[in-house]
Amino acid sequence: MNNRTRIIIFTFFFFCFLAQLGFSEAKSKSQLRYKIDSGTKVEINNKNGSIRINDWSRSYVQVEATMFSWAWEGSEELKKVKIVAESEGNTFIIRTDYQVPINKVPVYLEINIPESTYLKSVSNNNGEVRIEGCQGDLELHTTNGRIRIDNFNGFVKAETTNSNIEVDMMKGEGQFKTTNGRVKITDSTGPMTAETTNGYVDINNVYGNVKVTVNSGNIDMDDIRGDQQLTTSSGKIEVDDCTGNLVIHTNYGNIDVDNVNGLVDAETSNGRIKIRDVKAIIRAVTNNGKIDVEMRKIDEQGSYLLSRNGTIEVKFSYSIQANLEIYCPIGTVDIGDIHLKMQSSEDGRQIGILRKGGPLIYIESSVGNIELKDL
């Protein structure tokens, strides 16, 4: 008999021994129904497990609860956990009631609520929360579990830890926060706020203003119809095919902006800035990196470009008329064939008029060259 066979036989008899002592998986399933009035607000509170919520056309709430226990005498442990339903005014509350430590018996809830009711709050520990359909002004909280929201109508404030948040086809205002996870929002309408640490934010096809704050992670925005405020302490920011004004800041990372019908204000402490096909650039600032931008139009408030340690390359459309002030104390300024009249000032700055003149464009490279071109 070889060692592998001995291990298999030992394991078999070991678990048989445990079973004789009462150690085995215990499982319980139940289904409960409660009739509630139209317009009722619903609260759901689970202490350990997962929650899945759907709306339907029926006039009652249905709760399917599945419980597990791997403890000694697990079936006895299950009897000490109850599903409680109670009404307080216009609010219907579903909760799990534990007479044992919550880590001994996880409870998995699948709940259907009437379409005419409103989801008010959902709380959970150590598990996922998923909502499909439903409406209301919702506060949602879980720990160590994913949040997934599909086709919700109303306001949502949702928070989790150590997992992701995913939102699709929502109508209304959303505020989403996680740690050690990503936030992804797609195909939704309404103002959105997303915050995470040690994760990235990806938002696509949203009609509404967006505010994103990330501590160590990237930001990717595509097809947004609204103003955006985007901040990350360490990561790149990419914005593409959007309508609305942008305010962008990252401490360590590149900024890429393309095809935006709006004003752009972008700053990075350590990275390059690349901007293409936007309505106008108000400001592009980097401490350590190249600035590479196209200017097709200029706003009446002008434009400010600064790289403290890098080159600056600007391409002007033939329609731009502006006054220029250029400061390049160490590098060179190359204006190529651009139609620009330049003269030097006493402090070393170069003053110019692009075509007939207009709003001021200030360009400074403290350590690096400046190159101006026609598009």
pTM over the 0.85 mark: yes
The answer to whether position 337 is within a domain reads: no
Q: Is residue 293 a part of any domain in this protein?
A: no
Across 208-217, average pLDDT: 97
The answer to whether residue 62 sits within a structural domain is yes
Residue 190 domain-assigned? no
> What's the total number of domains in the chain?
1
What integer is the mean pLDDT of 88-103? Answer: 88
Listed residue (258, 272, 172) closest to 220, CA to CA: 258
Flag whether 35 is in a domain.
yes
| Long-range pairs of 94-101 with CB within 8 A, sequence gap ≥ 24 | 94/42, 94/43, 94/44, 94/45, 94/61, 94/63, 95/43, 95/44, 95/45, 95/46, 96/45, 96/46, 96/47, 96/48, 96/49, 98/47
**Lowest-confidence segment of 9-18, 163-172, 239-248 by average pLDDT:** 9-18
In this predicted structure, which of 25-34, 208-217, 237-246 has the lowest mean pLDDT?
25-34
| pLDDT given at position 14 | 47
Q: Is the distance from CB of 68 to CB of 26 less than 8 angstroms?
A: yes
What's residue 214's pLDDT?
97
Q: 23-27, 95-99, 169-173, 359-363: which range is least confident on average? A: 23-27
User: What is the pLDDT at residue 245?
Assistant: 98
Q: For strand 350-354 and strand 322-327, is the pairing parallel, antiparallel, or unpaired? A: antiparallel
User: Domain for residue 278, yes or no?
Assistant: no
Is 6's pLDDT higher than 50?
yes
- Residue 78 is predicted with a pLDDT of 80
> Is the per-residue pLDDT at 226 higher than 70?
yes
Domain-embedded: residue 101: yes
pLDDT value of residue 15: 46
* Residue type (1 letter), 336: G
| Amino acid code (one letter) for 311 | T
Pairing of strands 255-270, 273-286: parallel
For residue 149, what are the domain limits? 23-163
Residue 75 forms part of a structural domain: yes
SS3 46: coil
Rounded Cα distance, 181 and 133, in Å: 24
Instruction: Tell me the average pLDDT of the chain.
Output: 91
Question: 4 falls in which pLDDT band (50, 70, 90)?
Answer: low
CA distance 301 to 39: 51
